[in-house]
Chain A
Amino acid sequence: MAAVEFVNATRTYEGTKQPAVDDLNLHINDGEFLVLVGPSGCGKSTSLRMLAGLEPVDGGSIRIGERDVTSIAPKDRDVAMVFQNYALYPHMTVAENMAFALKIQKVSKSEINKRVQDAAKLLDLEPYLDRRPKALSGGQRQRVAMGRAIVREPQVFLMDEPLSNLDAKLRVQTRTQIAELQRRLGVTTVYVTHDQVEAMTMGDRVALLLDGVLQQVDTPRALYESPSNAFVAGFIGSPAMSLVSSSIADGNAVVAGFPIPIERSAINNLNNAKSVMVGMRPEDLTVNAEGIPMEIDLVEELGADAYLYGKTPSEVGAPVSLIVRVPGDTKLTRGSRVKVKPTRTYLFEDSPTGKRLT
């Protein structure tokens, strides 16, 4: 087990101008479960593959524990990887798949047997040990891929969207299993997903990437509570935070005619900008006599809660979308007009990745 460190790590694919991973600096603690999250194409897999040694590092370096592994072959890095499509060895049985790495390491037969048995028990794979991957269901294959990683007792686990091929229910179930397993084994883990719910529920810390650039890395709670920019704020949280580009008038940010006071500290950071990005989480908006006018497009009933999806009416300027959480017994329906008042706002510089002002 070991800590992992990306130091100014950069990767630019041949034939592309923009780096897929750009100057990544990231320290992952020994035994930590770190989730790499971000929209499709943001460079998650590339980062992970750089760590595994499957992708060359064009700039910077990568360390695992005490070792600089930047130019070390994958086979010598002592990491185990779970691939998105599992990449099981098709002509080997489940047991052989799991034993493969150990055989290469020339671990004794009895030791191999023991570890494979243990892993099989842990993952409920005992009945399938003699089957070929072809004869397994998706979830079973996923567990074999996990088993192949855990029998190795490597320094680092790498997992690239291992749950994306599973159905929703199985995904939720397996999610907790993996998190549990990782805590039990205590192996440093880098886990890639594009699903922010997965990221929030599994990771000790979450690193958020956009266009190859690390946006923020922190615990799930901290990411939620204090996003460092508008992109992070919009990405983390479900339903997403409503982000509204607003003009500034008299120290207020004006959203559809409704003034929202800007804190003094934020004003200083504004540098005389004419507009600001106002972020409001659904739970921070309440239906109120005074507030931002909103026309409801959709009411999403979830039982205890309901979410109102709507936009500001066009009479008060270009319509902006809003999501509001209300109690589940709401009488509001599609087409009704309400006013909503933010109880808490986040202010950012006015751009998609605008810096946090407060």
Chain B
Amino acid sequence: MRQRKAPWLGAAAALFTAALVSASCGGGTDTAEEAETTTTETAATPVTITVATVNNGQMKDMEQLTAEYEAQNPGVDVVFQIMEEGDLRSSVTADIASGAGQYDVVTIGSYEVPQWAANGWLTDLTPYVGTPEYDVDDIIKPVRDALSYEGQLYAVPFYGESSILMYNKEIIEAAGLTVPNKPTWQEVAEIAKKVKSDKVNGICMRGKPGWGESFAVLTTMVQTFGGNWYDMDWKAGVNSPEFTQAITFYKDLLETAGPKDPLSYSFNECLNGMKNGDFAMWYDATSLAGLLESDDSPVKGKMGYVYAPVVKTKNSGWLWAWSLAIPKTTKNVDAAADFITWATSKEYHQLVGETLDWNRVPPGSRTSTFENPNYKEAAAAYAPITLEVMSSVNPNQPGVNPQPWVGIQYVSIPEFQDVGNQVAQLVADAVAGRITVKEALDKGQEIAQKAGDAQK
């Protein structure tokens, strides 16, 4: 190209650069450029705590209420960097892995906590949570387990969630059906097929490929069907009969009673569909119940909530907690610890309820919150089931057989994001009918086994 001395090359180069810049500003999930930096208080202070957090409602509430914290703690300035989930994960990982030490507090999922703790990246929080006011035992036990490594607590939950089956009572009743409180997947499939009509689909489930998207749902299904990603010897079980059975069941259910364009569906699309009355049932996170019951929701009060469907296990809800942790690289451990114990305290829940709305209290982290009469009233429709489900799941052994990691809808190894994503994409191709389930899972088995081998 170079030797063609065209007069426009100069202009071309200029445009090219401009395009590159605009492309990167367009921002995929790979840049942290869209991070929104907010300085709550700019007064010159001796300690500044930088918090990296995820862009959702509860975190924004926290940012807003931090003014109270700063008022109580003169001399502390809390700065938030709010990012999309993908950006957050990559920029926090890069920051900690490279030892840059930009963040004093990071928001991470239960998936990361045990791994990062094992890497020695996180501060052991056990010494900071022992006070009676904090009452660490009040934190729901399965959540505490998921955030612990070798018996020590490495993160405190800001909010937690499990998964449940949500259904539109009107649609179900109109079809003359009932949804049992602890349904099996076969029962759910039956109901879904029966209510399916031109106007209404039987069930919504995440179909968009991704380890945290379709495979959050699918891993719980696989486990209750008796399969799992790995056995105790890290032998992959992706093409096992149980795994295959679960995937086939999922594919059939989507085909017969699911959304028309399943691969484009994540929880957002399902949420819209439920609100529209396009679906009779929805299997997804407990935290989404709050959105179905919010004041602007057309289906408020019309929803029923039951346990996650099972096959061979007693429970199959997943477990996730957005948690606050302190990287080892911070220089302000004490101030950071003080802040995160405040942000996850009973006091903070009270503060949210009183100043904002009881509906906006971060759910799924503290048992006492579920006992608060104000919260009970505001979240009557889903609070009891959320607590029940969250207290009954077992992150140490969610499936039929024991597993060598802690966690339900994910495997707590660094390779899992990648393995989960690739298998999710293969399964998506199978759902779309481009390959068979067997082809997808045989290929997935290879991928998973490579990662399994790395654990031995």
Note whether A and B contact each other (Cβ less than 8 A).
no
